[in-house]
């Protein structure tokens, strides 16, 4: 008969019962769950519930033999326990490991000190945890011995075993304990906890098979002339292979992150997660502080500011449909206070849970299910992602124990990967930030929209260079003048903030001087004088536009710039004169001049030298001939589509690799019916 329980003990029993039932419910949903074992465990829980109800208000019976043991007795018992030839675990009534012997530690591939104090079920795979907890509770309450199949998470790989559970009373201890004895099993076995004869046969068969296999290996080695001993330890070779593999992973991650095409935060993070999920773990979670929150100061190991909470960026798991669906669900679960990723992010300190037994360690899904249970992880590690100044995120790995729990070597490798990834993310964000600043500054040097001019149609194109984040020197503008309208397109020598300042001076100088100077040559001369104090020169072409009958007259002033192009309505092309010297070089400036008359359908095209000097992989330039051919081929198309055709042709020619900025500005005279 089970002992009587007082009300306080009953409440404790009920709380444990609720916890175990919930764990059984989760365990039943796992893909490799043993339905029979789960059912047996559920029946045991019902028996325990009935026993607890019957004993409410009863007196706890004493246990015989609870007087204090002598020191000699304790010493003898400890020696017998430690030197026993089979794995032994001494468990308290809540399933915590009080003590293990050397054989048990070797079974788990760890030390006796590491096992002590942890939950016994933490060293078992998820499919057997819930049934095992229920059977442990039954042994404590009823004293009935049982055998259960268990898959231990060994140091290198899972170990299938049959565990015998027996209740014992230890002198000096107020509560009963459980001794767990582990026996080997050659294959994963699934049977009821009450099938003791079958379990014994399985243990015996396993032992016989191991002996036969060892003898066969020894005989084979002797016949080959190789001296060997049964049970040769190959752990040294395995350790070396494990070390080499992890160094290969570290080298692959380093090479991948330093690869130039990965100078992109999203690409770098996803590639890193995929490599880790392939080589080190079944599941990888990477959480980062978004860039908009990460800007500003901060101390290493701390968030940068009050609202700099990490968000889930990437979740990678096994490559199957179910895992992909689960990854989408987990992507919506950001790290929450109290979870391992949050703790590591806040503290900046790495964490290793070689045998994870806390269901909420990685948080819960919106439906309340623990992420740790859903991914089947029994071992977890988490490292900070640092950019050299502060913690900007975490990398979390989850493993099922198929290749053993994570080790300190895994933790060390991942810590370095976290530092490398943090530096790449920092560089990518700095690069992107500078690109955004450059784009903003560049946009301020160009008109937001082109003006509407009666009788003509305007279009423009600006394409920045592929490489670099510095501001380009190209500019264009369309504006009113004293006698009509003006168009200007120019190119400042060099790039960067200094070039941008000169660009602004040239563009706004042309616009301002054109208010009271009539001829383009006079305007360019005044701007040249303003630029003499600058360290950079400017090439430009300025066109004055005045109505003339059904068309317009164009007066050109050229300052060392590629000549303007006229595309007639019938496809005939003419290039204007070239000449003049760049602005900002000499005091005695003299511009090149030309005058053109445009009829309805004619198009005036101004362009920078970036169009002509774009190169293909063979370093051949696009050149003026290709430009003229492309313009002629699209002469009848709208002016905006004409420039788009030139842009596509140019990018195709250089395979998208522009070494210089490209700008184009075009004006077409509309037919009288559309004026």
Q: How far apart are the C-alpha atoms of 191 and 113, rounded to whole Å?
A: 32
Number of Cβ within a 10 Å radius of residue 505: 20
Residue 222 lies in a domain: no
Kind of pairing, strands 88-91 and 177-184? antiparallel
419 & 453 share domain: no
Q: Give the list of residues 6+ apart from residue 93 with CB closer than 8 angstroms, or none.
A: 140, 175, 176, 177, 178
555 & 428 share domain: no
pLDDT at 272: 87
Number of Cβ within a 10 Å radius of residue 85: 7
Over residues 83-107, the mean pLDDT reads 85
138 & 177 share domain: yes
Q: How far apart are the C-alpha atoms of 165 and 121, rounded to whole Å?
A: 13
Residues in the chain: 675
Residue 13 lies in a domain: yes
Q: How far apart are the C-alpha atoms of 490 and 509, rounded to whole Å?
A: 12
Residue 315 lies in a domain: yes
Over residues 522-539, the mean pLDDT reads 91
Number of Cβ within a 10 Å radius of residue 65: 9
C-beta contacts of 166-173 below 8 A and 24+ residues apart: 166/139, 167/139, 167/140, 167/143, 169/63, 169/64, 169/65, 169/66, 170/69, 171/65, 171/66, 171/67, 171/68, 171/69, 171/73, 172/66, 172/68, 172/69, 173/66
Residue 217 lies in a domain: no
Q: How far apart are the C-alpha atoms of 566 and 200, rounded to whole Å?
A: 98
Measure CA of the first residue to CA of the last residue in the chain; give whole Å. Answer: 107
Return the closest-CA partner of residue 556 out of 515, 508, 587, 524.
524
Supply the DSSP symbol for 451. P
pLDDT at 226: 38
* Structure-token match 């992107």, residue found: 432
Over residues 366-375, the mean pLDDT reads 87
Q: Please identify, among 435, 465, 499, the residue that sits at the C-terminal boundary of a domain.
A: 435
Q: Domain count of the chain?
A: 3
579 & 633 share domain: yes
Q: In angstroms, how far is CA 374 from the centroid of its own chain? A: 20
Tokens at 428, concatenated: 């990518």
Return the closest-CA partner of residue 214 out of 246, 184, 240, 190.
184
pLDDT at 162: 87
Tokens at 234, concatenated: 């190959």
* Structure-token match 């992507």, residue found: 331
User: Left if phi > 0, otherwise alpha if psi is -120 to 50, otherwise beta: which for 7?
Assistant: alpha
pLDDT above 70 coverage of the chain, percent: 73
Mean of per-residue pLDDT scores for the chain: 78
Is residue 312 within 8 Å of residue 332, measured between CB atoms?
Answer: yes
Residue 440 lies in a domain: no
Helix or strand or coil: residue 662?
strand
- CATH number of the domain at 168, please: 3.30.450.20
Kind of pairing, strands 283-288 and 177-184? unpaired
Per residue, the 3-state secondary structure of 145-180, as one string, reads CEEEEEEEECCCCEEEEEEEEEEECCCCCCCCEEEE
* Structure-token match 């500011």, residue found: 305
66 & 123 share domain: yes
- The residue range of the domain holding 132 is 7-210
Q: In angstroms, how far is CA 612 from the centroid of its own chain? A: 41
- CATH number of the domain at 276, please: 3.30.450.40
281 & 420 share domain: yes
Is residue 441 within 8 Å of residue 661, measured between CB atoms?
Answer: no
397 & 461 share domain: no
pLDDT tier, 622 (very low <50, low <70, confident <90, very high otherwise): very high
Q: How far apart are the C-alpha atoms of 87 and 190, rounded to whole Å?
A: 21
Complete DSSP assignment for 20-78 = HHHHHHHHHTSTT--HHHHHHHHHHHHHHHHHHHHTTTPPPPP-TT-SPPPHHHHHHHH
Q: Looking at 95-104, 275-284, 463-472, 544-553, which range is the least confident one?
A: 463-472
Return the closest-CA partner of residue 354 out of 409, 393, 418, 278.
409
Residue 223 lies in a domain: no
Q: How far apart are the C-alpha atoms of 540 and 564, rounded to whole Å?
A: 11
pLDDT at 302: 41
- Examine the pLDDT at 219 and tell me if it is beyond 50: no
pLDDT tier, 611 (very low <50, low <70, confident <90, very high otherwise): very high
Task: Look at 500 and 418; give whichever has higher pLDDT.
Answer: 418
Torsion of CA 46, 49, 50, 51, to 10 degrees: 120
Kind of pairing, strands 662-669 and 456-463? antiparallel
Residue 2 lies in a domain: no
78 & 178 share domain: yes
pLDDT tier, 215 (very low <50, low <70, confident <90, very high otherwise): very low
Q: Please identify, among 190, 210, 230, the residue that sits at the C-terminal boundary of a domain.
A: 210
Rg of the chain on CA atoms, in Å:
40
pLDDT at 323: 84
- CATH number of the domain at 489, please: 3.60.40.10
pLDDT at 239: 57
pLDDT at 581: 92
461-513 residue pLDDT tens: 988 877 655 666 788 999 999 888 999 999 988 776 677 788 888 888 999 99
Over residues 34-61, the mean pLDDT reads 60
C-beta contacts of 34-38 below 8 A and 24+ residues apart: 34/127, 34/128, 34/131, 34/149, 34/190, 36/190, 36/191, 36/192, 37/128, 37/131, 37/148, 37/149, 37/190, 37/191, 37/192, 37/193, 38/130, 38/131
pLDDT tier, 124 (very low <50, low <70, confident <90, very high otherwise): confident
Q: Directed axis angle between helix 497-513 and helix 408-444, to 10°?
A: 20
- Examine the pLDDT at 71 and tell me if it is beyond 50: yes
Residue 227 lies in a domain: no
* Structure-token match 């696009």, residue found: 622
524 & 658 share domain: yes
Task: Look at 99 and 18; give whichever has higher pLDDT.
Answer: 99
**Sign of the dihedral defined by the CA atoms of residues 216, 222, 226, 228, in that order:** positive
571 & 465 share domain: yes
In 224-337, alpha helices (H): 235-258, 265-279, 291-294, 321-330
Task: Classify burial at 578, counting beta carbons within 10 Å of its beta carbon; exposed 0-12, middle 13-18, buried 19 or more.
Answer: middle
160 & 306 share domain: no
203 & 328 share domain: no
Q: Please identify, among 415, 435, 455, the residue that sits at the C-terminal boundary of a domain.
A: 435
């Amino acid at each position: 008969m089970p002992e009587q329980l007082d009300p306080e003990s009953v409440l404790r029993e009920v709380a444990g019962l609720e916890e175990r039932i919930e764990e059984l419910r989760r365990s039943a949903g796992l893909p490799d769950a043993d339905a029979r074992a789960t059912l047996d465990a559920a029946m045991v829980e019902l028996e325990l519930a009935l026993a607890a109800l019957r004993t409410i208000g009863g007196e706890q019976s004493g246990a015989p033999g609870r007087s204090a043991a002598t020191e000699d007795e304790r010493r003898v018992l400890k020696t017998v326990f430690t030197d026993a030839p089979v794995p032994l675990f001494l468990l308290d009534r809540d399933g915590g490991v009080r003590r293990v012997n050397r054989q048990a530690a070797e079974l788990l591939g760890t030390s006796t000190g590491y096992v002590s104090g942890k939950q016994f079920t933490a060293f078992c795979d998820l499919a057997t945890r819930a049934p095992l907890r229920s059977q442990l509770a039954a042994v404590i309450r009823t004293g009935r011995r049982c055998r259960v199949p268990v898959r231990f998470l060994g140091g290198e790989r899972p170990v299938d075993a049959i565990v015998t559970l027996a209740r014992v009373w230890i002198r000096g201890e107020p509560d009963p304990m459980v001794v767990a004895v582990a026996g080997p099993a050659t294959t994963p076995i699934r049977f009821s906890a009450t099938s003791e004869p079958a379990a014994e046969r399985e243990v015996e068969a396993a032992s016989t098979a191991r002996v036969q296999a060892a003898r066969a290996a020894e005989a084979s080695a002797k016949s080959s002339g190789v001296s060997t001993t049964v049970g040769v330890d190959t752990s040294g070779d395995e350790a070396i292979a494990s070390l080499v593999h992890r160094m290969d992973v570290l080298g692959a991650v380093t090479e991948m992150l330093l690869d130039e095409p990965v100078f992109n935060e999203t690409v770098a993070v996803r590639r890193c997660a995929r490599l880790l999920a392939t080589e080190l773990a079944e599941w990888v979670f990477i959480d980062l502080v978004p860039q908009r929150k990460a800007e500003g100061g901060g101390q290493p190991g701390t968030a940068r500011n009050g609202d700099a909470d990490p968000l889930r960026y990437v979740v990678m798991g096994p490559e199957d449909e179910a895992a992909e669906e689960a990854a989408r669900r987990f992507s919506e679960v950001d790290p929450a206070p109290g979870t391992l990723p949050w703790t590591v992010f806040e503290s900046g300190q790495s964490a290793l849970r070689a045998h994870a037994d806390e269901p909420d360690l990685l948080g819960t899904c919106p439906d309340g299910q623990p992420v740790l249970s859903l991914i089947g992880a029994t071992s977890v590690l988490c490292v900070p992602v640092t950019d050299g100044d502060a913690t900007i995120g975490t990398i979390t790995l989850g493993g099922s124990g198929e290749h053993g729990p994570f080790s300190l070597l895994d933790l060390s490798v991942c810590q370095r990967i976290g530092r490398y990834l943090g530096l790449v993310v920092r560089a990518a964000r700095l690069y992107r930030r500078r690109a955004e600043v450059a784009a903003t500054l560049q946009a301020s040097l160009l008109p937001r929209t082109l003006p509407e001019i009666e009788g003509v149609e305007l279009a423009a194109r600006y394409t920045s260079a592929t490489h670099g984040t510095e501001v380009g020197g190209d500019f264009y503008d369309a504006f009113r003048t004293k006698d009509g309208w003006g168009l200007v397109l120019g190119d400042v020598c060099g790039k960067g903030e200094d070039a941008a300042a000169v660009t602004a001076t040239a563009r706004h100088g042309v616009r301002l001087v054109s208010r009271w100077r009539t001829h383009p040559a006079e305007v360019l001369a005044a701007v040249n004088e303003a630029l003499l104090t600058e360290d950079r020169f400017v090439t430009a072409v300025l066109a004055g536009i005045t109505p003339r009958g059904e068309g317009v007259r164009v007066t050109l002033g050229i300052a060392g710039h590629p000549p303007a192009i006229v595309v007639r309505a019938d496809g005939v092309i003419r290039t204007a004169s070239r000449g003049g010297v760049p602005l900002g070089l000499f005091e005695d400036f003299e511009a090149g001049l030309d005058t053109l008359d445009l009829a309805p359908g004619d198009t005036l095209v101004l362009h920078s030298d970036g169009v002509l000097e774009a190169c293909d992989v063979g370093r051949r330039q696009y050149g003026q001939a290709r430009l003229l051919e492309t313009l002629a081929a699209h002469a009848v198309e709208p002016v905006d589509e004409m420039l788009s055709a030139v842009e596509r042709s140019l990018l195709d020619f250089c395979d998208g690799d522009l070494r210089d900025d490209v700008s184009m500005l075009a004006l077409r005279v509309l037919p009288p019916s559309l004026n």
